[in-house]
Structure 1
Amino acid sequence: MNARTEPAEKGTSAIARPPLVRELLLVAGLFLVYKFGRQLATGHTGEALHNAHRVWDLERTLHLPGEGAVQSVLLHNDTLVHLANTFYATVHFPATVAFLVWLYLRRPAHYVWARRVLATLTSAALVLPFVFPLAPPRMLAATGLVDTAKVYGPSVYGPPTSDHLSNQFAAMPSLHFGWALMVAIGLIVATRSRWRWLWLLHPLVTLIVIVGTANHYWLDALVATAMLGIALALIHPPHRTATTAGRGQSQLTPEKQPVLVGAGR
């Protein structure tokens, strides 16, 4: 699963990398928007809990598997649930940063594509808490789920009433899952190793963790997947085109991007 074993694509070196300082500022801005943007939609506790009941009932109507089935597996072993909480708290940001850094160094054209997709997904996801605030299942007594982070640790959240660093009523969509899925898709598209499909284990483990720790509903991940699908449909990955006739070489060229993401350059 080590993407570094994949040799650089022919012609990749011909693609100028975006200026490093500019990219650092853009990516830092993306993470700050993600971290602090949702706080603007705080103060909807009653509505968020009401929507949580609606989501829980809808999942039962759709006959989706109960989140409790996943959590019960984790709760069989204290070490396992502690690892799940640690994964939730520590893997999300570093994995995405490592993904972007690797693409920037090894696949510049794919880096620009992936950064635009992540920026579009994140920006769109920030709208939902304003129109549909949602309490996570760990806050909903009707689910019968345990707040594993609070009970077993480690926890990244404090009491909702005093937590000024995050909006805990922004469960939908799950950017934990959306970003993890994009990391896997990006590495599958950017590399050609026959083992590259194993990167799908990253969003799979993320899905098990976010549901098993009662931080997200299944529908949170499904909505994130749908939003990512729309972003990928609008923002195309780079493709190989022939260079000078007779050379038999190829290079990666970015697709023309829609005006929608022009501001993310």
Structure 2
Amino acid sequence: MTDVVVPADDVSPTRVHRTFWWKEALIMLGFYVAYSWSRNQFGSANIGPGDEPLNAFHNAERLIRLERAIGLYHEESVQDWFLPLRGFIRFWNVYYGTAHFVVTLAVFWILFAKRKLVFPQWRNALAITTALGIVGFSLFPVMPPRLLDAPCPSETGGFGGGCIPSTFRSTFDSVDPIVLDGRLRTAEQGSFGFVDTLPEYGGALWTFDSKGVTQLSNQYAAMPSMHIGWSSWCAFAMWPLLRRRWARIAMLLYPATTLFCIVVTGNHFWIDGIGGQLALALGMWGGWALHRWNSRRLDRRHDTTLGLQRPARPA
């Protein structure tokens, strides 16, 4: 248990706000459980064996169309450059599956221990950002690049869109059919060219095809990218605590390396990261607004307990 002293003014004595580590841990755990449950009520978990995920597939096409319109549809090229480096790709597979959680939890704890006066704002910002992510996953499910050529549910029980025709697929020079992402494709069908690096290269302790993961993870929860939202939250929250230049540079590079990771592993379009940044911006605004409202509520309760009358604050 730790006391945070809220400065006194000329009317009210100092108000002490107590924070408990176990309470914050339970709040975070409860919110993450609620986040995981609600996120998985939509998207891939509800795709039946005979269904075709048309909505998620066509939303991915919409993002591709937008990126092409501004001349920045290069995800397939970026991935293609690095695929020959198997050890390099395995590293990013591990990064994708671990840093997202480990770094965020570490920053959450550091904020609780070192920045108690602003900890509630940052906690609220993270919660609201994540809640906005759920809204995005629900209203705009997006099939990640790695699944665009993967087998459809009607073929193998997967979650891909390989059976769905698309004018965005590139043709290739081959008389005979070739195997792409476990699916036989002809030259007429073409391919988006993305590779699902987790099963193909390994490195992580799990894949999206692992037993149980398919039912626990919404594979169309791509827009906005919470990898980018959370990593940017970590960078902004830690900045005031870092004094050494190399540490600040490393923290600022964390969202950038995360963006590279989600693209090179085929898990996101880069524009999903823009969605994550927008969710964070709204989350930070909401987090600060919620904290101001709660502080005023606690002030009123504190003054009522002491029988004091606090002058109205300017709007």
* CA apart distance, 1:162: 7.9
* CA apart distance, 1:194: 4.1
Higher relative contact order (CA 8 A, sep 6+): 1
Question: Which has the greater radius of gyration?
Answer: 2
Secondary structure of the equivalent of 1:169?
Answer: coil
Q: How does 1:1-265 map to 2 (within 5 A)?
A: 14=5, 16=17, 18-42=19-43, 43=46, 45-141=53-149, 142=169, 143-153=192-202, 154=204, 155-158=206-209, 163-195=214-246, 196-236=248-288, 256-257=292-293
State the identity as a percent: 32
- 2:159 maps to none
**RMSD value over aligned CA atoms?**
2.7
* CA apart distance, 1:98: 0.5
- 2:153 maps to none
Unaligned runs of 5+ in 1: 1-11, 238-253
* CA apart distance, 1:181: 0.6
TM-score where L is the length of structure 1: 0.79
* CA apart distance, 1:160: 11
CA distance in 1 between counterparts of 2:33 and 2:217 reads 11
TM-score where L is the length of structure 2: 0.67
- 2:12 maps to none
| Compared CA separation, residues 21 and 173, structure 1 to 2 (3 A) | same
Maintained 8 Å contact 1:188/1:197: no
- 1:242 maps to none
Secondary structure of the equivalent of 2:56?
Answer: helix
Q: Which moved more, 1:116-125 or 1:156-165?
A: 156-165
* CA apart distance, 1:192: 4.7
Maintained 8 Å contact 2:197/2:266: yes
Maintained 8 Å contact 1:96/1:183: yes
| Compared CA separation, residues 160 and 184, structure 1 to 2 (3 A) | same
Secondary structure of the equivalent of 1:126?
Answer: helix
| Compared CA separation, residues 18 and 156, structure 1 to 2 (3 A) | farther
